[in-house]
Structure 1
């Protein structure tokens, strides 16, 4: 029986109460502060949610009101969301690195009345916007450092709200239980704003039923155990974090662990050694870059040992994926490699204890995928969407495949329409976009099928294969299929390439704009005595262009000739979410980029040798500046394709 079928467990806050009753001393959440992991038991968790909810009630927070959290992953921000939900309110997490204009749009659109901010930085941002937020009544802060002299009447500390809640409880002893009981599974729990790849973000309303049934379905087909450690480091505004740090944690009693800061995530990950993990492709790509850079910096002997066992592991992984067995010599080599290379690498990454790891949010290149699997990390693909409560399909342990996203999770239907678009129906489908009924009607059919906007198909094993965003899949001038993400993932396997944007729809050949990885390319330049002063200066060095050209040539060798990159240029700045070139979840906003760099694209196909680029740069406070420079366009000779599984 599903949890939503019982009135005692049909909302997320009710599950907090259940967990406290079932396992009062069990670890519900941890956070690392000042170098020490602090634990909140499930009974502590319940008390925090209850007291904060009553504090909100004393501040006249009512059913249907909206509470936004902004900041890094902190227990108090999770408690605040569940407290709002316990009173029938709705939580609206927002990205902590959003610029002012983005925050104003989301907070106004959501009709947020209370903001819970992590620290002084977020408080300052909220205070600077309060005159533009007519619905805002209170700003509550968690970390008081730097805020002692602030006297704005709209400000309240987290501790002050808890105190108000305890006082309110004495005057209204049954208030929390009464409000909690009023909650229904179809009440909206969270408004998760989409990443906005095609325009302004849309607020997807997710009910308690959505969150709970999706978590149940995922746990049913994955090895999820009570007390599993989960690192809560992903942006709280991303639906993937809400799905695991709130949904899965409440349903399956995972222990969510908040790192000390974004800068210490890798160190905290290694200390914690989580049992399960989810990371977007950018994280896996960064990990791979770190491994490859460390290997390149090692002594000649260590470098040769690493490369030998890396090559062995990747060959064996390809054989296993093709269904072929391993020889005795290969098995012996892998056993030795486990001692010398694979085990130590997993330990350095903090993944020695991980039973499974997922990548999701965007496609991960097959080469990166195979690298981690070959090193003994049970990395698998998960596919989802904000409108589907984050999860649609995932891969069983024995059926991991870089070219698919696995099977649909239990109790949802997935089909491919006659245009090749993936559609689904089930309890995970959202209830609609907040205040955008017309857009909801365009996204969900009258009979309940959600249009994902992704092009895909089912393979012979019944696994879902995602080609690309349906609107991005095109054809070259000769009619050859063109899927830009596939080519970009090949390019981003290089540790020197941070981002790549490929073009080719209705064009004679494929071209690419490349944003170099400042850290790895900078280290490469320093070792060769190549001086530079800035990102722009480094990207304009002929030696760097030769380096990137060589990396693109390696990627081209794995592609058919018609899909190989023929021309490229190096951007003089990174692609940034603040400049609207990417979403906050690091997805390229293709339409915007194509319009912004229209002259560059024309230069690629007009046989130009260089092109003048004017870039608009947006600062965090909303101020803008422009950067104009000439950028060289480089040509590449055709590469001889190698035979290798994609």
Structure 2
């Protein structure tokens, strides 16, 4: 039986009086010349900083912001790619007592203006002139200064990052104690960041996270998985999002692990092969693409004997995974056979750069069970976690020694979970946000007087305390017949087919379900080429009868696995791809359902109109 009160006391003792600034100071002192940050410069050259150099750059940035007149307890926005200058500037703001607010690189000018004005930002850190062009200065009367990481500007309020650091070095030369006085004034109750929600259900809300809540969730998570200075992680998800900010960037200040930045998510596979991280977290789409690529390569293996050997090893390992998931003892004979085929799986892991990886994680949305079972079979026991911006990032995980595939696991140490009468998951603990910035009414709607936060997720819990997310409360489809249906479950089943990159199931207040289907930009052309099909552009393939027939078979296979009311009656293959830049996905690749329903209203209505006519 868990003693939650004791767990909380233990966590709170560990972080008492601490801030990320004090943790960073201790880590930099401890590790000194060890490698802290790695990225690639403009010409593709490898760049790195030691912990000592990292902290010196942060010192110069913090004193530079102070020299500009940016005051403690004010706000600054950062809009840049994943690169070492991002975290140096962000930490510089933090050490100056300024709250750093990340802006997604995909934001439109009006969205940038909304968030920058909403948090009253006085300074902005911007990647390059192309990003700067999206800042409408006439709409930002309170923005006093802009720091440009690359390039230059004629605007007198814009300085370069090098100029900012030079200002800071000059202050340090005059007063060697200025930096220590500055960061030591930061307190555990100070706001460390505002995480603005993606705005899929209205204007984005600014989630208030404090120094204390950030350290609380990091300390809680570390009771399961202890990152050390020997570890190496990749930073490729947006640093404006809680996942990379808390689990990567902030956690590194405590653990001292090396962070390697990937500034272009489309290059993540190549970077994985180059870096070979020891800890890796991926949103479901990353794992789906890896799975599709590997299974395609196995299927296309020209050496029949080799192909059969790999498929046989997979079948054996999947059998063991299935027995473990059912809680059945695995015979020693099977264990021995699995050990004999381990070199096959080691080679597969090396093929995707995960041969050194000791801990893998996924979250943000459901990952198809077939994908998870495959990776468990090859020796990558992906741990599904659950969280949200309102609880600093993560509230559950699967215990490393007992992962239940398809479940988000159990509560983190010190965290309480419960289900409301309607099945909504509620959470309480030191990781819960202070509230929504400038929105007391919405805060009160979300957090009750006893500190329970309503998550908006409908969940179920088993006898072992493992939770499963059914769907978002506001995204559940209620058909015209009154049936509650989870679109995420059906979409996950559809995306298990290698041809399908994204899917959005429609059916709210309708008589039956339909789906919008988007082909996978990587796998669909390869699939077509293997069949000698002319024209491999996505738009051409979407209209090709062979592709339509294969998608029809995929839909039929899904329908066989669900009830009649959950079956998909009609579908449309769209001629493009969905990305964060094309509006349909959030920066962490989750569906923006309202945007999709609005943008493809004509296609949706045509499916229902045509189906009605056929009926």
TM-score strictly above 0.5: yes
Counterpart of 2:177 (choices 174, 179, 191) is: 174
Q: What's 1:254 paired with?
A: 257
Q: What's 2:420 paired with?
A: 417
Q: With structure 2 as the length reference, what TM-score do the two structures score?
A: 0.92
Is 1:30 paired with 2:38? Answer: yes
Provide closer, same or farther for how the CA distance between residues 586 and 222 of structure 1 changes in structure 2, counting only shifts above 3 A. Answer: same
Q: What's 1:367 paired with?
A: 370
User: Could you tell me how far 1:332 is from its partner in structure 2?
Assistant: 4.6
User: Could you tell me how far 1:74 is from its partner in structure 2?
Assistant: 1.0
Supply the distance in 2 between the matched residues of 1:558 and 1:378 (Cα, whole angstroms).
Answer: 25
Q: What's 1:82 paired with?
A: 91
Q: Is the 8 A contact 1:482 1:505 kept in 2?
A: no
3-state SS, counterpart of residue 453 of structure 1: strand
Q: With structure 1 as the length reference, what TM-score do the two structures score?
A: 0.88
Supply the distance in 2 between the matched residues of 1:163 and 1:472 (Cα, whole angstroms).
Answer: 50
Q: Is the 8 A contact 1:194 1:201 kept in 2?
A: yes
Q: What's 1:630 paired with?
A: none
Provide closer, same or farther for how the CA distance between residues 223 and 177 of structure 1 changes in structure 2, counting only shifts above 3 A. Answer: closer
Is 1:273 paired with 2:282? Answer: no
User: Could you tell me how far 1:124 is from its partner in structure 2?
Assistant: 3.8
Is 1:472 paired with 2:475? Answer: yes
Is 1:587 paired with 2:593? Answer: no
Q: Is the 8 A contact 1:275 1:353 kept in 2?
A: yes
Supply the distance in 1 between the matched residues of 2:15 and 2:71 (Cα, whole angstroms).
Answer: 21
Supply the distance in 2 between the matched residues of 1:378 and 1:6 (Cα, whole angstroms).
Answer: 29
Deviations, residues 491-517 of structure 1 (Å, cap 9, x unaligned): 111111111111234544332111111
Is 1:571 paired with 2:606? Answer: no
Is 1:71 paired with 2:71? Answer: no
Q: Is the 8 A contact 1:16 1:45 kept in 2?
A: no
Provide closer, same or farther for how the CA distance between residues 476 and 312 of structure 1 changes in structure 2, counting only shifts above 3 A. Answer: farther
Which stretch shifts more, 188-197 or 530-539? 530-539
Q: Is the 8 A contact 1:19 1:250 kept in 2?
A: yes
Q: Is the 8 A contact 1:496 1:521 kept in 2?
A: yes
Q: What's 2:5 paired with?
A: none
Supply the distance in 1 between the matched residues of 2:292 and 2:203 (Cα, whole angstroms).
Answer: 33
User: Could you tell me how far 1:476 is from its partner in structure 2?
Assistant: 4.4
Q: What's 2:6 paired with?
A: none
Is 1:324 paired with 2:328? Answer: yes
Supply the distance in 1 between the matched residues of 2:295 and 2:245 (Cα, whole angstroms).
Answer: 32
User: Could you tell me how far 1:211 is from its partner in structure 2?
Assistant: 0.6
Q: What's 1:616 paired with?
A: none
3-state SS, counterpart of residue 469 of structure 2: strand
3-state SS, counterpart of residue 212 of structure 1: helix
Is 1:304 paired with 2:304? Answer: no
Q: What's 1:493 paired with?
A: 496
User: Could you tell me how far 1:197 is from its partner in structure 2?
Assistant: 2.1
Deviations, residues 459-507 of structure 1 (Å, cap 9, x unaligned): 1001122111012224445555411101110111111111111123454
3-state SS, counterpart of residue 368 of structure 1: helix
Which stretch shifts more, 407-416 or 559-568? 559-568
Deviations, residues 100-143 of structure 1 (Å, cap 9, x unaligned): 232222222222222222334323444xx223222222222223
User: Could you tell me how far 1:390 is from its partner in structure 2?
Assistant: 0.4
Counterpart of 1:339 (choices 331, 343, 351) is: 343
3-state SS, counterpart of residue 572 of structure 2: strand
Which stretch shifts more, 567-576 or 327-336? 327-336
Is 1:50 paired with 2:54? Answer: no
Supply the distance in 2 between the matched residues of 1:42 and 1:594 (Cα, whole angstroms).
Answer: 48
Q: What's 1:152 paired with?
A: 155
User: Could you tell me how far 1:449 is from its partner in structure 2?
Assistant: 1.4
Q: What's 2:551 paired with?
A: 548
Which stretch shifts more, 88-97 or 593-602? 593-602
Deviations, residues 34-56 of structure 1 (Å, cap 9, x unaligned): 55544322222221111110011
Q: Is the 8 A contact 1:35 1:260 kept in 2?
A: no
Supply the distance in 2 between the matched residues of 1:603 and 1:89 (Cα, whole angstroms).
Answer: 52
Is 1:230 paired with 2:240? Answer: no
Structure 2: tracts of 5 or more residues without a match: 1-8
Supply the distance in 1 between the matched residues of 2:461 and 2:162 (Cα, whole angstroms).
Answer: 52
Counting only pairs closer than 5 Å after superposition, residues 458-469 of structure 1 correspond to structure 2 as: 458-469=461-472
Supply the distance in 1 between the matched residues of 2:321 and 2:556 (Cα, whole angstroms).
Answer: 24
3-state SS, counterpart of residue 518 of structure 1: coil
Q: What's 1:20 paired with?
A: 28
Q: What's 1:400 paired with?
A: 403
Supply the distance in 2 between the matched residues of 1:609 and 1:344 (Cα, whole angstroms).
Answer: 52
Deviations, residues 217-257 of structure 1 (Å, cap 9, x unaligned): 00012243343211111111111011122321122222222
Supply the distance in 1 between the matched residues of 2:400 and 2:91 (Cα, whole angstroms).
Answer: 33
3-state SS, counterpart of residue 522 of structure 2: helix
User: Could you tell me how far 1:370 is from its partner in structure 2?
Assistant: 1.1
Is 1:135 paired with 2:142? Answer: yes
User: Could you tell me how far 1:73 is from its partner in structure 2?
Assistant: 1.1
Supply the distance in 1 between the matched residues of 2:154 and 2:10 (Cα, whole angstroms).
Answer: 48
Q: What's 2:48 paired with?
A: 39
Supply the distance in 2 between the matched residues of 1:470 and 1:67 (Cα, whole angstroms).
Answer: 33
Supply the distance in 2 between the matched residues of 1:248 and 1:563 (Cα, whole angstroms).
Answer: 42
User: Could you tell me how far 1:584 is from its partner in structure 2?
Assistant: 2.2
Supply the distance in 2 between the matched residues of 1:310 and 1:51 (Cα, whole angstroms).
Answer: 53
Supply the distance in 2 between the matched residues of 1:30 and 1:7 (Cα, whole angstroms).
Answer: 28
Q: What's 1:642 paired with?
A: none
Q: Is the 8 A contact 1:27 1:227 kept in 2?
A: no
Counterpart of 1:432 (choices 430, 435, 443) is: 435
Supply the distance in 2 between the matched residues of 1:326 and 1:394 (Cα, whole angstroms).
Answer: 24
Counterpart of 2:189 (choices 182, 186, 190) is: 186
Structure 1: tracts of 5 or more residues without a match: 611-632, 636-646
Which stretch shifts more, 535-544 or 234-243? 535-544
3-state SS, counterpart of residue 97 of structure 1: coil
Which stretch shifts more, 2-11 or 563-572? 2-11
User: Could you tell me how far 1:381 is from its partner in structure 2?
Assistant: 0.6
Q: Is the 8 A contact 2:11 2:414 kept in 1?
A: no
Supply the distance in 2 between the matched residues of 1:510 and 1:306 (Cα, whole angstroms).
Answer: 38
Q: What's 1:504 paired with?
A: 507
